[in-house]
Amino acid sequence: MRLKQLEGYLQQCDGFLSPKINLEQYATSAHIASHMAYTMDQTFDDVRNKLVADFGCGCGMLSAACGMLKASHLLGVDIDNDALDIAAKNMNEFELQTDFLNYDLVDDIEMINYLAQRKIIDVVVMNPPFGTKNNQGIDLKFLRHAVKVSQSAVYSLHKTSTRDFIVKKAEEFGCEVEILAELKYDLPKTYKFHRKQSLDISRFDPVSLILLPEVLDQTVRLLPCY
């Protein structure tokens, strides 16, 4: 499938009906999701025939992108059942078989430990909450747990303005980081305080991790340290 074709299909996905500000819900655009998944697949061979987990999957945009690029299995994880209902509808529309898990990725470590022990997840892809004043550090919790369960790589979106901090923390987690892209991202006017952001796409290896910062203009690749 060509990149433009992938983006066109993803534009048909439904987004949040009533985004929840406490969960920092905003839709990952078809443009970002298609480019992220296409890079994962074409550059790193991290989609086709891989079990891909989408942490904080929301409405399933990243899951759908990986499914269309022939991931062997998809697991979408989110704390919000309303978002999971939309994600399931989106995946059904494209006949993409996906397992969904209603789970708190931040505070409930039991499932993370289980997935890590089973070693069944090849790759984690995610667009985690950026972390507001009242929710600082949530992006790092997502990252730490993703690195723990992934057997190959983690691809994630983070604010460009936090790049140095994210890279430092990822290295403390035992990863090497590669910035894959920095992209300009116009946040939808979901909330009154939203404005243009710049995001990095990064890849971390252990596990590998890919980060997308605030405005998408830079990509990073993280390699595991042994």
Higher model confidence: residue 59 or residue 21? 59
Q: What is the average pLDDT across 48-58?
A: 97
Instruction: Choose between 213 and 97: higher pLDDT.
Output: 97
- Closest alpha carbon to 200 in 179, 221, 186, 185: 179
pLDDT of residue 213: 39
Q: Which DSSP symbol is given to 44?
A: H
Tens digit of pLDDT for each residue in 167-204? 898 888 888 888 888 877 666 555 454 455 566 767 77
Angstrom CA distances, 199 to 28, 132, 157, 185, 189, stand at: 12, 16, 6, 7, 17
Of the candidates 13, 15, 3, 14, the one whose C-alpha atom is nearest the C-alpha of residue 39 is 3
Name the phi and psi angles at 32, rounded to 5: -65, -45
